[in-house]
Amino acid sequence: SLATQDVDRSKVPEADLFGCFREGPHIAIQVHQIREGALIASRPYPLGELSLSSQEALEGFVQQYYQGKTVIPKEVLLPTEIQGMDTLASWLGELGGRKVKVAVPQRGFRKRLIENACRNARQTHETHQNAKEDSIRMLRRLQEGLGLANFPGRIECMDISNIQGTEAVASDVCFLDGAPAKSEYRHYRIQLPNEPNDFAMMMEVVFRRFRRGKEEGNLPDLLVVDGGKGQLNAALTALHELGIVGVDVVGLAKA
């Protein structure tokens, strides 16, 4: 298994290896951690589409990877030269409190380890691309099934929660290309007088979200509101008042 795989205690006792694969603008990085001669972790990082060169992407990734870390291995092995390798080695040495070697292996056992990490990076890319293609097909079926005007690349779902009409809050959950985008999640504290009026609450929160989205040019392709015809009409009214057209809106009602 990965946790017990013996690398070679005498050849590479402790190192982080960075594999990199690029296909067009898509870049993936794989990090292998070797401790006490054993490969203890292999972590995938699909970076998606980047306008950077492979070297620039790797340089930025390595710097970000070690930001804030204090446990640094003796060796950091890379698949290609990047700018400022001596500076990187000095910085990592300061973080870890000891000398750190940053190198690009040219031959031998370390070279084979880097080649293996790059193969894993390719697998990471292919897995990520396949998952993305599956999501796009699923979203196409959703578009066709609901008769949507837009491809639902960005979906936002609105839900109102309240306890007997008090302490009402709204949640806005976002999906990008079918995957949860948690950094885009939002919560709203309802500003209307505390009374159990789900329609007015839905209208308020949709109005607030889309007013700001209109200003920032950040609107979803599809808005899903939790509720039946009343909540749906409230959301549509808010969009109409803002003069927003072109956003698909659907309601989720219990059967």
Helix 85-96 and helix 54-66, axial crossing angle in degrees, nearest 10 = 10
pLDDT score of 6: 45
Q: How confident is the model at residue 101 (pLDDT cuts 50, 70, 90)?
A: very high
**Is the model's pLDDT at 104 over the cut of 90?**
yes
Per-residue pLDDT at 3 = 36
Q: Are 172 and 185 in contact (CB under 8 A)?
A: yes
pLDDT > 80? residue 227:
yes
Is the pLDDT assigned to residue 165 strictly greater than 70?
no
CA distance 173 to 185: 5
32-81 pLDDT, tens digit per residue, is 999 888 888 899 999 988 888 999 999 999 999 999 888 899 999 999 99
Query: What confidence score (pLDDT) does residue 175 get?
Result: 94
Closest to 243 (Cα-Cα) out of 214, 220, 208, 201: 214
pTM given for the model:
0.59
Please give the pLDDT value at position 161: 84
